[in-house]
Amino acid sequence: NAGVTQTPKFQVLKTGQSMTLQCAQDMNHEYMSWYRQDPGMGLRLIHYSVGAGITDQGEVPNGYNVSRSTTEDFPLRLLSAAPSQTSVYFCASSYIGRPGTGELFFGEGSRLTVL
């Protein structure tokens, strides 16, 4: 059981380049989400989805796009990378189930540096 798989683990971009962080889960979870983790701060929600075809913005959505065409995959697109997007990105998924108490499973993270 792979759980939540993120690729790539490391990426270096130049300002203005675009890229996609991939996230896949094999647990048939309805909920998937993307967070960024910066030093000294809690994880901040970028975008999330409660099912295929349904996405919504989180706390820090600017500069990022998402789509959810299948239950398994939830890619995060950086349209025009900026140094402020240098961060560690985590994908997480969960059953929605009994309201609010589904366990959140995280991927191993993708470390992005924008020069």
Site membership for other proteins, residue 103 (CB under 8 A): yes
Identify which of residues 58 and 63 has a Cβ nearer to other proteins in the complex. Answer: 58
CA distances for 56 relative to 39, 48, 62, 65, 81, angstroms: 25, 5, 12, 10, 21
CB 22 within 8 A of CB 73: yes
DSSP state, residue 73: B
Site string for other proteins, 25-44 (x = CB under 8 A): ------x-x-x----xxxxx
Identify which of residues 16 and 97 has a Cβ nearer to other proteins in the complex. Answer: 97
How, if at all, do strands 87-94 and 31-37 pair? antiparallel
Site membership for other proteins, residue 10 (CB under 8 A): no
CB of 73 to other proteins, least distance (A): 18
Residue with tokens 């309805």: 30
Give the interface with other proteins as residue ranges (CB under 8 A): 4, 31, 33, 35, 40-45, 48, 50, 56, 58-59, 90, 92, 96, 99-101, 103-109
